[in-house]
Amino acid sequence: MAGSTLSTRQTGGGSLPATYVTASGLPRYNPLAQALHWLTAALALAVLPLAWVAISLPNSELKGTMFTLHKSVGLTILAIVVLRIVWRMIHPAPADPAAPKALEVIARINHWLLYAIFLIMPVSGYLLSALSGRSTAYFWLFTIPGFEKNEAVQKVFATMHVVGQYAVYLLVALHIAGTVWHLVVRRDGLLERMLPVQDGRGSR
Ligand code: HEM
Ligand code: HEM
């Protein structure tokens, strides 16, 4: 089956290699899009607790370490999300002909807002730090210089960063709830679009 093509109604009329079509006939995201998606998800799960711990610790070496980790993971997310957006522009998302149009539009809006907030958070985080005159260490590997201290502008980015976290919680919660709904209620195999082939096709 590997290397052959499936031509199905669900692929939007086109032909895709068998490994790019899910068991229920939906077209999949390509492997790099999948890998970068799950990497972002894992890093998102790390960056938040690091922030919660960092802000709640009293001034200490550990607090500094937690902040360095929070900032470094956040900057890594920024790089990956930029790469994802560029990759996504070259490789549009696979069509989902099984979904009602309104649902597809809501999902697309959720996806673009996720990209937006995962750009806004690291950029505002870096600027709130940099505009207080601090340089930012990236995993103790190298340092990104800060700017001249500017309290007024720094405050704007600090507010953006602190308020922005609620958009992260809301968008990620909706995104996961949507996935669970597809998995449990619609049972349309949507999660598989973001997973590598599950049944051994393409492994031979
Ligand atoms: C996806 C990326 C990021 C997310 C989701 C995120 C999230 C958060 C959250 C939830 C807080 C706690 C806010 C509060 O309740 O006070 C926080 C604080 C903070 N973050 Fe981030 N962050 C990200 C990236 C960054 C980056 C890249 C930097 C710096 C290079 C940074 C610097 C800071 C600083 C300095 C604070 C403390 C702010 C304060 O207490 O005034 N963050 N971040
Ligand atoms: C455990 C957590 C997560 C699950 C279960 C999950 C699940 C999924 C699934 C199933 C899709 C494919 C949707 C479709 O076929 O139309 C998807 C797409 C997407 N996910 Fe997630 N996701 C998670 C976390 C995240 C996080 C943290 C982000 C943050 C950036 C994110 C951003 C996206 C984006 C932007 C897309 C659309 C990709 C595109 O069309 O360019 N996901 N996710």
Q: Where are the domains of the chain?
A: 30-194
Find the mean pLDDT for residues 66-90.
98
pLDDT reported for residue 7: 38
Distance CA 113, CA 136 (A): 27
77: its two tokens:
């997310």
Decide whether any atom of ligand 2 lies within 6 Å of the 192 Cβ.
no
pLDDT reported for residue 201: 61
Among candidates 26, 38, 40, which has minimal Cα distance to 77?
40
pLDDT at 9 over 50: no
pLDDT reported for residue 74: 98
Find the mean pLDDT for residues 119-136.
98
Which atom of ligand 1 is the closest one to the Cα of 55? Answer: 40
The residue nearest atom 42 of ligand 1, judged by CA position, is: 125
Q: Which ligand is nearest to the CA of 193?
A: 2
Among candidates 155, 160, 152, 154, which has minimal Cα distance to 120?
160
CA of 22 to the centre of ligand 2 (A): 16
What own/partner pairs with CB < 8 Å and gap ≥ 24 does 131-134 have?
131/157
Assign domain 30-194 to its CATH architecture. Up-down Bundle (1.20)
What percent of the chain has a predicted confidence (pLDDT) above 70?
Answer: 88
Among candidates 164, 145, 203, 193, which has minimal Cα distance to 16?
193
Q: Which strand (E) or helix (H) includes residue 101?
A: helix 101-130
pLDDT reported for residue 29: 96
Q: Kindly indicate the confidence band of residue 98, based on its pLDDT and cuts at 50, 70 and 90.
A: confident
Distance CA 193, CA 41 (A): 16
CA of 136 to the centre of ligand 1 (A): 13
Distance CA 41, CA 31 (A): 15
Decide whether any atom of ligand 1 lies within 6 Å of the 129 Cβ.
yes
pLDDT reported for residue 12: 44
Convert the pLDDT of each residue in 12-63 to its tens digit.
445 667 677 888 888 999 999 999 999 999 999 999 999 999 999 999 999 9
- Can you tell me which residue has the tokens 């522009």? 89
Average pLDDT over the chain, rounded to an integer: 90
Q: What is the phi/psi pair of residue 91, to 5°?
A: -120, 90
Q: Kindly indicate the confidence band of residue 144, based on its pLDDT and cuts at 50, 70 and 90.
A: very high
pLDDT reported for residue 100: 87
- pTM, rounded to two decimals: 0.91
CA distances from 186 to 89, 98, 106, 182 (A): 29, 11, 16, 5
